[in-house]
Chains A and B, each alone.
Chain A
């Protein structure tokens, strides 16, 4: 097991094995962050790919002032937010296959999950939840993602996003309040 210093050192030397380790160690976390912000699986894969390429290109400039993970999170958040702003995303949207992302969601018949009523209720909740997530402003969603996925403290989120701790707290509170509205259908109580 390589510690962070060793990993960074080998990365700076251009060691491919170190780069492979970095990818394996962070790919899922970074994907989660990108997906949390963009809510698009395909774009998130592209973003993570770009993040790793950026890291490979710029690792010599990493001075170790922050943790490697903080640096990676920051790049991923920036890439994800930029991605959304770029026009090319609009174009890609036109070329998306007609199969929806939800196409594989339905549980198989005969499993315990298949109770039409329950399934309907969960689907309704999921739909409402996703809608609320999409409606959230990006800055609130970004804070929520870092809290929920990475379990970062307010302080760490503030450092990653270069915000004040109070701003993190208020954005997180706002995100939770908004997402709670998806529960108002009272569908989960049964």
Chain B
């Protein structure tokens, strides 16, 4: 009985150890970044079902009545590598992972419009966390919201 318990405990320890190792190796290689481009407006009432979880969060701070998913992009980037996401209104979002610090990935985000940098920021995004960057106007009454999440 004691033997079985010891074996189980050792196995458990091994799993935890392997888990941590695998996690560290992943952290050293690539960062998976998902970008959801959302059009928020007060022109109509529409909640895109593909955004169900996100809308609840957004509705707690914004007063828009419509949230529509315009596009969804996935980038898998190494440290220092840059990926582009095409946004409406001749805009481009440029994402570059700069490094990993603890459980956060340091990302540089740049929004360009017709090759002009209109906005750039460096953020430390929690693993499996997300940030919503908003503000650019789109169509008459709408604003673009970019929900950027990562995992590594």
Closest to A92 in B: B63
Complex-state Cα separation, A91 to B64, whole angstroms: 13
Chain B residues with Cβ below 8 Å from A88 are 60-61
Is residue A126 contacting chain B, with contact meaning CB distance below 8 A?
A: no
Q: Which partner residue on chain B sits nearest A42 by CB separation?
A: B63
Question: Contacts of A92 on B, CB cut-off 8 Å?
Answer: 61-63
Q: Give Cα A88 to B61, complex, Å.
A: 6
Interface residues on B, range: under 10
Count of chain A to chain B residue pairs whose CB atoms are closer than 8 Å in the complex: 10
Bound state CA distance, A42 and B64, in angstroms?
Answer: 12
Q: How far is the CB of A91 from chain B (nearest CB, A)?
A: 6
Interface residues of A: mostly helix, strand, loop or mixed? helix
List chain B residues, Cβ under 8 A from A91: 61
Shortest distance from the beta carbon of A85 to any chain B beta carbon, whole Å: 15
Inter-chain CA distance A61–B104, complex, in Å, is 42
A111 → B minimal CB distance (Å): 31
Is A95 close to B, CB under 8 A? yes
Chain A 81-109 interface 0/1 with B at a Cβ cutoff of 8 Å (1 = within): 00000001001100100000000000000
B63 surroundings in chain A (CB, below 8 A): 42, 46, 92, 95
Count chain B CB atoms within 10 A of each CB in A42, A46, A92, A95 and give the residue with the most.
A95
Contact partners of B60 in chain A: CB under 8 A? 88
In the complex, chain A residues 85-144 whose Cβ is within 8 Å of any chain B Cβ: 88, 91-92, 95
A–B pairs, 10, beta carbons within 8 Å? A42-B63, A46-B63, A88-B60, A88-B61, A91-B61, A92-B61, A92-B62, A92-B63, A95-B62, A95-B63
Residues of A within 8 A of B (CB): 42, 46, 88, 91-92, 95
- Nearest 9 A-B pairs (CB), nearest first? A88-B61, A92-B63, A91-B61, A95-B63, A88-B60, A42-B63, A95-B62, A46-B63, A92-B61
